[in-house]
Amino acid sequence: MINLYTKAFTEVATKRGITKLHFHIEEIEKRDVSVFNGVVQNIGASGEVLLLVEGCYEGFLGSAYSEEIDADNIESLVDNIIQTASVNKQMYVERPVHSLNNLKSDTTSFEVHKVAEELLEAEKAARTTTCNIAVFHIGLSQTGKKITFINSNGESMTDRVNFCTVGAYIMAKNDDNVQTAHCQRLFNDDLPDFKELAVNAAKEASGMLGSKPCAGAKYTAVIRNDAFAALFGAFLPAFYAEKCQSKMSFLMGKDGSEIGSPSFSAHEDPMRIIHRQFDDEGTLSAKKSLIDKGKLVNYFHNISTAATTGDGQKSTANGFRQNYNEGISSAYTNVVVKSGDKNLDELLLGMGDGILITACDGIFAGVNPVSGDFSVISKGYMIRGGQAAEAVSGVTIGGNLYDLLHAVEACGNDSVTILGNTGVVTSPSILLSGIVVSG
């Protein structure tokens, strides 16, 4: 259907004086199933098609958008291309279409009613673990997206993004004391162990009951994998070249500089969960280092920001649209913090005495990518002799990302993946020589 549509579109557009066309088509499918306090909810599926057409009219770029592939809308979309080209007077630049063979296969298949039964069993297991659960929610969401580029010559390239997200939210209550825990995991292979995830979240929420702030001080610390992934992910916009060029990032002019300890490295791998062989500008993507042993080696560039440098910088294939009807900006796909060789227990034993941070709240409000400063509400456990002692909540960890990354002594081997603001972030637990905690 799409090929017939683009062929018909090209015929109409050519007659109207449009000499070149570029079709950006996204076919999106979602499936959801969840359980809330013993009741199955949100069993459903949805789908949509998003269409962006760019055309060259009298040498200028025109564009049009639609949420359906319908021959009846071709004339109006062609009108929009001609109108926007005539008004904006932006020179047309043809987007490349490459021959690709590494198309990602579909994600894990599952039967929603069977998953619903498994989620109910997971809730039973969690409630058996602790009697303090007041609110229980767990859900599985599957996202599939097929991205296709087609030009007016009929050449095309396609990629698929397929992944699942499972999340559990639990509120534990004891008299007037209330604590929550949220656990999220992303995957694109086998389904996770729902019971294990639910039980761990239940233990975490229940274990925080009766927790209190600790004394304010600078502590040796371990930030657990999911908490560090969320914290580091909130700083990733500072790595966008457009932010640096507009003086809206504390990393401006820091390329090649030491911004962390030799124990810390991170890279982007666009072939992981958010699978993109090319960005929205048609630039072929590849794995690239972001921070190498503490040194900043790359920003996230699109074609425009790369050209602005004037030093031969090429796009790093990070030119994406946040919405299909918006212009190109910067974004990441899969950012991965390099893991080490110790598990969480070994990191805690190596630390001896200190604090384990298991969760941070209000991260995006408490993180400033412009200055590099952060101050976020946190909770976790005091660690004594390498073992968890009293639970701690209502504390604030703060500082600057420079200091945080320079304090990294070791990275664990317990990496997890969570959703970030434009892509996903994978991180292990991190051992720090010190972090300021306000009690």
Domain with CATH 3.30.2290.10 in the chain: 2-207
pTM of full prediction above 0.85: yes
262-275 mean pLDDT: 96
Query: Taking 60 as the threshold, does the pLDDT of residue 105 lie above it?
Result: no
Looking at residue 142, what is its pLDDT? 93
Q: Could you tell me if 178 and 72 are in contact, meaning their C-beta atoms sit under 8 angstroms apart?
A: no
3-class SS of residue 84 = helix
pLDDT in tens, 387-424: 999 999 999 999 999 999 999 999 999 999 999 888 99
Give the DSSP H/E element, type plus range, for residue 143: strand 133-151
CA-to-CA distance for 317 and 272, rounded, in angstroms?
Answer: 15
Check if CATH label 3.40.50.620 holds for domain 2-207.
no
Angle CA(60)–CA(66)–CA(69) in degrees, nearest 5?
115
Q: Return the closest-CA partner of residue 219 out of 398, 413, 412.
A: 398
Looking at residue 189, what is its pLDDT? 78
pLDDT in tens, 164-199: 999 999 999 998 899 999 999 998 878 889 999 999
pLDDT in tens, 348-397: 999 999 999 999 998 989 999 999 999 999 999 999 999 999 999 999 99
pLDDT class of 291 with cuts at 50, 70, 90: very high
Q: Return the closest-CA partner of residue 98 out of 260, 331, 282, 346.
A: 282
Looking at residue 337, what is its pLDDT? 98
What tokens were used for 233?
A: 């992910």
